[in-house]
Amino acid sequence: MARPQRTMRIMATEQHRADAQRVEDHGMTVAIIPARGGSKGVPRKNLRRVGGVPLIERAVRTALAADGIDLVVVSTDDDEIAAVASAAGARVVRRPAELSGDTASSESAILHALDELEAGGDSIRIVAFLQATSPFIPADALTDAVQQVRDGHADTVFAAHETYGFLWGRDAAGAAVALNHDAAHRPRRQDREPHHLETGAFYVFRADGFRAAEHRFFGRIRIAEVPEWTAIEIDDEQQLRIARALAALHESEERIPVRAIVTDFDGVHTDDTASVDADGVERVRVSREDGMGVSLLRRAGIPMLILSTEVNAVVRARADKLRVPVLHGIDDKEAALRAWAAESGIPLADIAYLGNDVNDLPALRIVGWPVAVANAHPLVQEAARVVLRRSGGHGAVRELIERVLPG
């Protein structure tokens, strides 16, 4: 008779565990991105652009793209960051001033955001803490990290990349000290076990464990391995320049899903050179490939506009040849572009602007897809979301159009 009772107790225990698991599974997985307005190393850092997209928007997009995340929250004290984050699809939690100074910890911002969310009725089970200063967070690695915590395989998972580097430190006298190796024994790479370097890009952990520890590392800790090139964290202007170069290298092949194309003329449709005859008549070099590309764009019903500061008959002649409207003699390209977009009923986020020089920067900064020709000014390349492979006058317009047209 004792055996059936024991079996019933075991079944009751298992049922209790199952019920507890179901209750736990009801909690949300929330991505929290702390992003205060102040920054000493890089002023307005969280709004600076990499690949033409503000850092805070990049982080929000990555969190939204990861599977298993129910809500994306940005914790900020800054109105402009709040507006960009909200437009990108995040919920904004306003952070008080006492948690927004240089000495405020990320943990304090996360705890505050959790308090605000739970006070509003949200039940949080898992937190994905993302740092906007890491512009290349892989959504697939974030997805896997969330799944590991959700499945109970880990309490904390953090991003790190594999390294075989020999690390050194200094002792009190300034002498070099080997940290992760024996300086007298230098085995080949293939004969060594790798270490993993924390990137700072993301951390995923149980909400209850984080509240108890008040720290991101607790319990069973696992590594989410990410590619080394994604590991850059922006703390100064040099790192920002490197990140922009990496974006141009790694993010320049995707399709550009826009509803309109606006371009500069000189240095975009032309090779930025001109010949002038004795009568002062100016001639420029253009690409026939561009003409065919514009024809394909027109057949697809996608509007195009040429926006030029020059007042020159050659600009009008080329625009007429392409059957494209042109606004020339424009000193304020940003205002002209805003007016044209409003009149056309096309959101700026759905426009690609193609430029090459510094007078294009105001227009590049307001569109969803700022694009630069291959030989553009360095500041234009830094502002661009896409840097084309072709130069102005050598098929750059055609290249952009082919990236815009559906496959």
* Stretch among 80-94, 95-109, 170-184, 393-407 having the lowest mean pLDDT: 95-109
Nearest-CA neighbor of 223 among 157, 169, 283, 162? 157
24 versus 108: the higher-pLDDT residue is: 108
Query: Is residue 133 over pLDDT 80?
Result: yes
Query: How confident is the model at residue 96, as a pLDDT?
Result: 87
Q: Is the pLDDT of residue 388 over 60?
A: yes
Q: Give the C-alpha distances (Å, rounded to integers) separating 250 from 68, 230, 297.
A: 25, 10, 26
Q: Quick check: helix, strand or coil at residue 166?
A: coil
Round to whole Å and give the CA distance between 271 and 68. Answer: 48
Structure confidence by residue, pLDDT tens digits, 311-367: 778 888 898 999 999 998 888 999 999 999 999 999 999 999 999 999 999 999 999
Q: How far apart are CA 268 and CA 374, in angstroms?
A: 10
Average pLDDT in the chain: 89
The pLDDT tens digits of the residues spanning 105-119 come to 889 999 999 999 999
Percentage of the chain beyond pLDDT 90 is 66
Q: Across the strands, what pairs with 354?
A: 263, 371
Q: Is the pLDDT of residue 368 over 80?
A: yes
Q: Does residue 23 carry a pLDDT above 70? A: no
CB 69 within 8 A of CB 128: yes
> Which letter, b or e, does each residue of 275-290 get, where b requires 16 or more Cβ atoms within 10 Å of its Cβ?
eeeeeeeeebebbebb
The whole-number pLDDT of residue 313 equals 82
What percentage of residues in the chain have a pLDDT greater than 70?
Answer: 92
Residue with structure tokens 């949300």?
28
Domains of the chain, first to last: 2-164+194-234 (3.90.550.10), 260-404 (3.40.50.1000)
Phi, psi (deg, nearest 5) at residue 334: -65, -50
Q: What is the mean predicted confidence (pLDDT) over 88-95?
A: 94
CA-to-CA distance for 88 and 72, rounded, in angstroms? 10
Confidence of residue 135 (pLDDT cuts 50, 70, 90): very high
